[in-house]
Amino acid sequence: MYPLAGLITILLAASGCAQRPVPRAADAETTATVLSGPSYVQDCQPCSIRISPAAGVFLFRFSFSPAGAGRVVHSIAVTPPGAQAASQTLQVKDMMPLPPGAKVFFGAQDLNFDGYEDLMIITSHGVANAYADYWLYDPNARNFAPLGEYPVFTVDQAARRLKSYERGGSGGMIYESRQYAFLEGKLTVMRVEKQEAIEGSPDFRKTVEERKDGKLVTIERLTVRSPR
C-alpha cells in the first residue's frame, strides 16, 4: 500500500522516534545514541534503548562486515542494564549491502503488545518493498528471541495486529497484504488479501482469506478488471 519512503515515514511518525548522543552514566568517556523508536543510525557504537521502565536501558552495538564496495551488519551485541559486557549476540541474516555512507534503519517497537520494546532492523529494500529481521524481548529470560524476517510491519495498536504489504508489478495491481496477531504467544496469520494476474487475460484475480475456527478460509474471490 505504501512505497518504501512513505512506509518508513509512517514508522518514524508512529513511534515518535528521536536520537541524540548522550554520555553513559557507567562510562563518561563513552557516548551512546539514544533511540526511542526505529530510526536511521550510522553505526550504533553503541545505541541505547529503554525496553521498558522495569527492564531498563539496553545497549546495542553493530558488528559490520565488508560487502562489495559497501558493508552489512552481520550481528548485534546486546548489553543489559548494569552489565560491563554483552550477554547476547543477535545474528542478522542475509542483509543487502549498504553503499558507503548509508545508514541503517534500526530500533524498537512493541510488536506483541506486552509493554516491552522489541527489535527490528531493515535487511533489504527496493523501490516499493522492504524486509526486516525482528526479535521479541522475553522479560523472563531478559533477552531477545528471533521472530524471523518479514515484510516491514506497521503496528495497529487499536486492533492489536501487525500488518504487512508487498507490492508487485502491473502498476501495483499485483499485491499481497497480511494481518498477524499473537495467539498463545505465536505470531499467526489472521487475514490475507492477494491480487494476482490471470494467465492469458489482462485482468486480475483477488482473493481474501480470514482465520476462522483455527484455519484460513476464503471469504471473497473476484475478478478485477484491468485499468488499461
Read off the pLDDT of residues 20-70 as tens digits, 9 standing for 90 and up: 443 333 443 357 999 989 999 999 999 999 999 999 999 999 999 999 889
User: What is the predicted pLDDT for the residue at 212?
Assistant: 96
User: What is the predicted pLDDT for the residue at 17?
Assistant: 43
Using a 10 angstrom Cβ sphere, with 0-12 exposed, 13-18 middle and 19 or more buried, the burial of residue 53 is: exposed
User: What is the predicted pLDDT for the residue at 211?
Assistant: 97
What is the spatial distance between Cα 152 and Cα 49, in angstroms, rounded to a whole number?
20
pLDDT less than 50: residues of the chain:
1-2, 10, 12-29
User: What is the predicted pLDDT for the residue at 137?
Assistant: 98
User: What is the predicted pLDDT for the residue at 226?
Assistant: 85
User: Which residues touch 137 (CB under 8 Å, ≥6 apart)?
Assistant: 51, 55, 116, 117, 118, 119, 143, 144
What is the spatial distance between Cα 2 and Cα 105, in angstroms, rounded to a whole number?
17
Q: pTM (2 decimals)?
A: 0.85
